[in-house]
Structure 1
């Protein structure tokens, strides 16, 4: 094989190798680029209490707050006024009721209504809070106008709505009497309004429901709110608001109204402190508590160990002394007992004489060792009963 052929073969092998490497590289890149993407979880599905997601955050309704509208506010927006009404009937003598006036969609009715409202606006100009007049019905008998005088009443801290309405009712009564006396000169052409001085009626209307909490607070939270009149107007306060008559003091913690559960205190720095009360009272430093408990346990262990050791030592000493006393007479000792210790052995070397002296001049005292093993314990000992002799 020539050198040139060898070079060609080598080149061919090299090209194939590069091709394989290149293909492998492409496959690797393709494999690494193909991964599964999971959809990001947004808060849109988590917005609570009617909140809506705008693509960035939850937009909460007026009465809710929080990142997902999870908590209710402690105070409803105040309302400064409430509309009240007084029913009034006036009789117009210089006009007659016809079919056109009975149709509230006719041009004649609308013209009559406009003229009447302009007159009443001037009439009630001095009435505090006057807003408008609303015609309820036109009755026959010339024309009897049954209408409502609408008056706006302002909420005041020092006066109830009921008391304010009484004052309004009196003012409307005085104004109606004035109108009847002022518009008696009727024109023959029927222009203007000529009121009958002997006809006029003023009737009070029930004050609209002023229970602001029923209108603004969700039923699941309503039991934990109280209606109150402040300097800003009528409002609803939760039991977490400091102005509420049922204020829950969380002692520096955060008070939150929980749905159907009521106020709950979230205490600060629970990682460092623990609280013995449900309203963040009884603040205890965790490190100090755990250290104190550990020290108390250590002292208790030492006391128990000490008392146990002393009791064990005392019991061992007592047992040792008892064992010595019990074994004292049974020791296998080589010692001999001496009669000098109080035991006298009278042997056969001498006999007693009546005066107590021995028949032998040699001492009968000798040493002896008791042999208990030689004692026959089966022998019965008979002792004669002593007899008493009287001399």
Structure 2
């Protein structure tokens, strides 16, 4: 069914259909979504039954990181070749003990996120390591990390000086250090651009419509459809939807109003529209009725006039009189000097008006023209 083909063992179904006979319509997930058998699993940028809608906001990294290079000399441990192999048990045991000791030393720094051992060298055990720092993003995060690195330096200096005690220069902590060999070097702050991160996560198609705003000490990667921000698109009586062409407002239709306009800010009452349409129809019907009445009256008058004229012609014919207003031919004499020549005198003398029905007693008043004299 549905365009499938039999390969000898089972049906090969085209895209969009499943089943042993290709009888079921499968849900096609859009925008990179995948079907798990029950629903579409959408990527972080889309949602909906078929992943057809773009999300209004995306979660992005809220923290920034930095590292401080530190070198210390551990005097309570002897160096061995096994420490050069980070897969050896000796290295793992030392790394665990060193990490625990550093956690105690830097416990007072909230941004402390651990240490990374870069190299172990001879000289008792010289340790080159990085102190990892993480902090919530702020616009001044680089300056804050510079201040935090000063705290790191003070902490490690104080710890290595106070550990040595007693006549035998022993210490009561996990590891002992030579305070003279402690060095705090470079601070490396990882550059973080939240705007670039936001657009990268959004993807190429919709990245131009995503922007970052800082609100309540938190970063938000949003579209204009996310309400409550400076970049928000106000749709009033509608819903914002982001499409490939950009954000637009889809206006609502309620039981009492229709809404329209780019921001769905213009509404009209349905009852008003229905009233105006009804009034317009009523006026149109009245006009049609008036035209119909005039048309009927005109037809009746025209028919009556034709009837009177017809009767008048009929009466004149019965009495042998000429038709009123016509001419009577009392003779037509052609003087054929030439075949195509007719004298006008003959025509005028042979055509005479029929005055049988004219009342000779009726007076006709003609206004005398007035003469106006002007002085030159």
Bin of the TM-score, shorter chain as denominator length: 0.5 to 0.7
- Give the 3 Å change call, closer, same or farther, for CA 93–128 of structure 1 in structure 2: closer
The 5-angstrom pairing of residues 1-391 of structure 1 reads 39-43=23-27, 46-77=28-59, 82=63, 84-92=65-73, 94=75, 99-139=81-121, 143-155=125-137, 160-183=140-163, 192-197=175-180, 199-207=182-190, 209=192, 211=194, 212-214=197-199, 216-231=201-216, 233-258=218-243, 260-269=244-253, 275-285=259-269, 288-289=272-273, 292=276
Name the residue aligned to 1:363. none
Q: What displacement does 1:172 show?
A: 1.0
Q: What displacement does 1:173 show?
A: 2.0
> Unaligned regions of 5+ residues in structure 1, if any?
1-36, 307-331, 343-391
Name the residue aligned to 1:375. none
CA contact (8 A) 2:237 2:264 kept: yes
CA contact (8 A) 1:93 1:196 kept: no
CA contact (8 A) 1:253 1:280 kept: yes
Moved more, 113-122 or 182-191: 182-191
**CA distance in 2: counterparts of 1:84 and 1:140, whole angstroms:** 31
Q: What displacement does 1:219 show?
A: 2.9
Q: What displacement does 1:234 show?
A: 3.2
**CA distance in 1: counterparts of 2:66 and 2:80, whole angstroms:** 28
> Unaligned regions of 5+ residues in structure 2, if any?
1-20, 292-354, 369-376
Deviations 1:240-278 (A, max 9, x none): 1123321100112111122x3221211111897555521
**CA distance in 1: counterparts of 2:280 and 2:113, whole angstroms:** 77
**CA distance in 2: counterparts of 1:169 and 1:119, whole angstroms:** 18
Moved more, 277-286 or 182-191: 182-191
Moved more, 192-201 or 94-103: 94-103
Q: What displacement does 1:134 show?
A: 1.0
Higher helix share: 1
**CA distance in 2: counterparts of 1:295 and 1:196, whole angstroms:** 98
**CA distance in 1: counterparts of 2:73 and 2:168, whole angstroms:** 12
**CA distance in 1: counterparts of 2:134 and 2:47, whole angstroms:** 32
- Give the 3 Å change call, closer, same or farther, for CA 54–90 of structure 1 in structure 2: closer
Q: What displacement does 1:148 show?
A: 1.7
Deviations 1:290-344 (A, max 9, x none): 7647867969x98xx99xxxxxxxxxxxxxxxxxxxxxxxxx996899xxx99xx
Rg comparison, structure with higher value: 1
Deviations 1:111-169 (A, max 9, x none): 2212211211111111113231111223456544221212332357xx75345424422
Higher strand share: 2
Q: What displacement does 1:181 show?
A: 2.2
**CA distance in 1: counterparts of 2:189 and 2:145, whole angstroms:** 10
CA contact (8 A) 1:52 1:58 kept: yes
CA contact (8 A) 2:70 2:131 kept: no
CA contact (8 A) 1:130 1:152 kept: yes
Instruction: Please report the TM-score for the alignment, with normalisation by the length of structure 2.
Output: 0.58
Residues paired across the two proteins, number: 271
**CA distance in 2: counterparts of 1:216 and 1:188, whole angstroms:** 55
